[in-house]
């Protein structure tokens, strides 16, 4: 069983704050890492698919970095807005099984 940890479990920030959270995964046999945003009662929405060590991806105010050697990825949100409130999930895909293992997610609440 692969261990994919996300921290913190939940986060409350004020509108305008910048924030970041972490996805930790096994540092061996890396294949890909996915980040998703999941708003309550909606579909999970893919944010990034990261495949190379050192990858940095950006989508508007959201960006992500990847370090496969040490087994972590950071997701950054610049200038958080209430509409950023959601659960952010990462999914690690190993080169052994090619099956995604999801973390439990970080629940972000942005207060106006």
Partner 1 sequence: DTEVTQTPKHLVMGMTNKKSLKCEQHMGHRAMYWYKQKAKKPPELMFVYSYEKLSINESVPSRFSPECPNSSLLNLHLHALQPEDSALYLCASSQDYTGGFKNIQYFGAGTRLSVL
CA pair distance 15, 25, nearest whole angstrom: 30
Is residue 46 a contact point for partner 1 (CB under 8 A)? yes
Place of tokens 């060590």: 53
- Minimum CB separation from partner 1 for residue 14, in Å? 27
- Our CB check for partner 1 shows the closer of 36 and 72 to be 36
104 contributes a contact to partner 1 by CB under 8 A: yes
Opening angle at CA 40, ends 35 and 46, nearest 5? 20
Q: Which stretch binds partner 1 (CB under 8 A): 13-21, 62-70, 73-81, 93-101?
A: 93-101
Is residue 17 helix, strand or coil? coil
76 neighbors 82 (Cβ within 8 angstroms): no
Cβ 98 to partner 1 shortest distance, Å: 4
Q: Can you give the binding site for partner 1, defined by CB under 8 A?
A: 4, 31-32, 34, 36, 41-46, 49, 51, 89, 91, 93, 98-105
């Amino acid at each position: 069983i692969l261990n994919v940890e996300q921290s913190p479990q939940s986060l409350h920030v004020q509108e305008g704050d910048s924030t970041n959270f972490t996805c930790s995964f096994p540092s061996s046999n890396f294949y890909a890492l996915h980040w998703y945003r999941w708003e309550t009662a909606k579909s999970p929405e893919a944010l990034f698919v990261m495949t190379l060590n050192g990858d940095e991806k950006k989508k508007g105010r959201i960006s992500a970095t990847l370090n496969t050697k040490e087994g972590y990825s950071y997701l950054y949100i610049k200038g958080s807005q209430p509409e950023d409130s959601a659960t952010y999930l990462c999914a690690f895909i190993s080169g052994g099984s090619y099956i995604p293992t999801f973390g439990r997610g970080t629940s972000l609440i942005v207060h106006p």
